[in-house]
Amino acid sequence: MKNYDLVVIGFGKAGKTLASKFGALGKKVAVIEKSPQMYGGTCINIGCIPTKKMVEQSKFAKFHSDKMAYYAESVANKNALIKALRAKNYAMLDDNANIDVIDGVGSFLSEKEVKITKNDGTTQVVCAPNIIINTGSVEQKPNCLISSNLVYSSTQILELTTLPKHLVVLGMGYIALEFASLFANFGSKVTIVARKSDFMPKEDEDVAASVLSSLQKQGIEVILSANLKEIVGEKLTFESAGKLHTIEADAFLAATGRVANTADLALQNAGVKTDKRGNIITNEFLQTTAAHIYAVGDVKGGELFTYISLDDYRIVFSHLCGDSSRTINNRATHASSLFLNTPLSSVGLKEKEAAAKGYEIKVAKLALSGVPRAKILSHDDGFLKAIIDAKSGKILGAAFHSVDSSEIINQIAIAMELGATYKVFQNQIFTHPSISEALNDLFGQF
């Protein structure tokens, strides 16, 4: 058994950043990763970076007559990017003499001991006073019979080198909608099949309607209230309105959710408990039910975003090496973005949420069709929406279905974090032409 100051199970954003920080402080760290193809974590290898690279490349597919060739080229470009980033992330840790990157599957023997089972069957035991669980999440399989080799997870479809003629997307979450949009851009016929009766039910109706209209302009068909029955070969069977329906396709994307990746951890040996959904239970400092074991990133549930994982690092580091001032209760105000052909970005409360909480609200909307920058980009789909507290003038939330929304939404988040009123955007001088300058007109309505 080898002793360390810190053991990290999983090479994700929070874990690798903690390892790097501890290593720089002269602490001995072991980072356990079961797959060399996952150095750097989900975001770099199978999540944010490869999908957004494909989203961006898909926007240029319309300029290529040979869609199949361009798609294959795009996959190759994506793979080259991932390979470079993976190597950079591995070197970031491996080049530090205080950090050992160990390939293998980590599982708890006790509260402070972790067994590593390597690919050749040999084992190694490591021990540390503090252990970080950073194993992320895995795809959840659809709840239906599957007898087909044409059903792909989001990870698997990223490796598909042949552009599907017809892709059926099962689900309506972020992953489902992003893949639907990018494959439609590349030239696939795309059908979304979802169980829920309303499109994007968590969004305000006007926002959901705008996104649906944009997807339909891409040629995407959306089927709601569908109860999946089976996928056999090239045929999907589902029930809707009491009738059975079938769709034939040459590819199916199962994007029906993700669950915490804890199967290999033997958490019971360490006294680490999970909730009814399988997420590791943590407190405000991200300590598990075993106080010296922390869970960070997707494995604890909640918002499954890499920037939340990065903030998890800040919280744990503050608790282990700082003044413990950082907790999940004082995270900075932050936005989220859905990277469609026309991105949807939002922050704070939705209109219906603000009303439900009893706020007296005012709402402003601005169509992109009147924004010069949107005209220049030939991308004037969508609109900007802001919700404010009528009494204080403070911004309660915003939803931007707009080109460049993933950038400008951060301005709203910062203003909200600082407690600014809508007037800061009424009077701010922005560059021209930019999408940001539309904030003058949006907030000028109040």
- CA-nearest of 97, 86, 106 to 33 is 106
Active-site annotation holder among 319, 379, 401, 432: 432
Integer Cα distance of 83 and 160 in angstroms: 17
- CA-nearest of 169, 24, 180 to 93 is 24
**Residues recorded for the chain:** 446
136 assigned binding-site residue: yes
137 assigned binding-site residue: yes
Integer Cα distance of 71 and 176 in angstroms: 19
Token pair 């951060």 is found at 410
Active site includes 432? yes
87 assigned binding-site residue: no
Asked if residue 36 has a cis previous peptide bond (ω within 30° of 0), the answer is: no
Q: Are 103 and 117 in contact (CB under 8 A)?
A: no
173 assigned binding-site residue: yes
Q: Are 199 and 73 in contact (CB under 8 A)?
A: no
Q: Which residues contact 85 (CB under 8 A, 6 or more apart)?
A: 40, 44, 49
Amino acid at 121: G
344 assigned binding-site residue: no
52 assigned binding-site residue: yes
132 assigned binding-site residue: no
172 assigned binding-site residue: yes
Q: What angle do CA 420, 425, 428 make, to 5 degrees?
A: 115
176 assigned binding-site residue: yes
Phi, psi of 33 (to 5 degrees): -140, 125
CA atoms within 13 A on the CB side of 31: 36
Integer Cα distance of 132 and 128 in angstroms: 10
Q: What residues are annotated to the active site? A: 432
Q: Which residues are annotated as a binding site for FAD?
A: 52, 106, 135-137, 298
Binding residues: 52, 106, 135-137, 171-178, 257, 298
Residues of the binding site for NAD(+): 171-178, 257
